[in-house]
Amino acid sequence: MAGVLVCGVAASGGGAAGGGAVGGEIRLAAPPVDAPIRISADRAYRWRQDGEDVWLLQGGCEIAQGETTIRGEEAVAWIERPEEKGGAIERVAAFVSRGVVIDQRGKAGGGGAGRREKA
C-alpha cells in the first residue's frame, strides 16, 4: 500500500518521582509519499468506522515506510480509502505503544547508518 503515513508513539521515561508517561513529539524525516507502507503484527483485528479501516495490532507490531521503521508491542492504524478515488489507500495514521523503537536508516554515507531511538 502507498500513501501518506502519519504516526504517533507513546513515550515513557523516568523522572525524579519514579517515572511515568511523558507527553512529547518525535519528529521523523518524511519518507517519500509514493513509498509503500508495510504493516505487520502477530495478531490483527479489523473493522470499519467512519469510512476508515481500523486495525488493532498486537504483538511484534511493525510499521514501515521508506527508510523509517517503527516497532512496538501494540498499535492502532486508521486507513483512509476514499470511494471517490476507487478505494485506493490515501492516508494511514497510526499510534504505536509499549516498547516503541524508531529506526531511521539514512542513505547518506552509503553504509545504511541512521538514527535509532527508543521512545
- C-alpha cell, 80: 483512509
Instruction: Give pLDDT, residue 116.
Output: 57
For 78, the grid coordinates are 486508521
- How confident is the model at residue 44, as a pLDDT? 97
CA distance 93 to 119: 18
Print pLDDT tens along the chain (119 aa).
555 566 666 655 443 333 334 445 566 666 677 788 899 999 999 999 988 999 999 999 999 988 889 999 999 999 988 877 777 888 888 899 999 998 987 543 334 445 555 65
Q: Which pLDDT does position 110 carry in this prediction?
A: 34
Spatial separation of the C-alpha atoms in residues 30 and 7, rounded to whole Å:
11
Q: Residue 48: helix, strand or coil by DSSP?
A: strand
> How many Å apart are CA 32 and CA 86, to the nearest integer?
22
DSSP one-letter string for 50-118: TTEEEEEEEEEEEEEETTEEEEEEEEEEEEE--GGGTT---EEEEEEESS-EEEEE-STTSS--EEEEE
Distance of CA 76 to the CA centre of its chain: 9
Write down the pLDDT at residue 61.
Answer: 97
